[in-house]
A and B are shown apart, each in its own frame.
Chain A
């Protein structure tokens, strides 16, 4: 089962920042938080990941709370192309990991023109 909880859906106005929350209260010390997004009929696409520090890349920023029990993905200037389902997952970073990881239903983000 997924170890994260996310809102089912969210709307955001085009050009505004989209803030997507994720709760992962049972996260272990060696588990990273990963974010992916899935545009209709495509495979999920990597966005960003982090362990404890906030992270930023060309796509988004990831804010992780100090207790690591929740995080927020921030799309700074949302565009219509950001409309997608966003998944938050937690897992260890080692490639040898064989976690029985099932993605949840994610958050369906709709960008409003």
Chain B
């Protein structure tokens, strides 16, 4: 079966510090991968999606970037965090059986 791993679960970072969130998928190959962000009390906002290694599409211009160095690895990064980057970050992949499968999420607090 397919599983998705996301870490860390929680993160507190100072303003101006770098960020790296990692997501890996098991049990599937060449998955479509997605990064979503959820601000408190809001819906899920699509940040990036990737249909293959090195292929990244950005949906929202912002302080973040994404990379896909391996087929089943998706990384969300920032060189300098802003207060507005705080939120709940979710990695997901899309499959035919269940649609989106989400990771457990990372709650990022920028202080």
Interface on A for B, CB 8 Å cutoff? 2, 32, 34, 36, 41-46, 49, 87, 89, 91, 93-98, 100-106
Contacts and interface: CB of A to CB of B under 8 A. Distances in A.
Interface of A is mostly: loop
A95 B44 contact: no
Contact of A43 (B45, B95, B96, B104): B104
Interface residues of B, number: 28
Contacts of A44: 44, 90, 100, 102
Interface of B is mostly: strand
Among A45, A46, A87, max chain B CB count under 10 A is at A46
Contacts of B44: 44, 87, 102-103
A73 to B, nearest CB: 14
B21 to A, nearest CB: 13
Given A42-B104, A98-B32, A105-B43, 13 more contacts: A2-B43, A32-B99, A41-B107, A42-B105, A43-B102, A44-B100, A45-B102, A46-B98, A91-B99, A94-B96, A96-B32, A97-B32, A103-B36
Interface of B: 6, 31-32, 36, 42-46, 49, 51, 57, 59, 88, 90, 92, 94-96, 98-105, 107
Given A41-B88, A96-B32, A46 B101 contact: yes
Among A96, A100, A101, max chain B CB count under 10 A is at A101
B99 to A, nearest CB: 5
A17 B82 CA distance: 44
Among A41, A44, A94, A100, max chain B CB count under 10 A is at A44
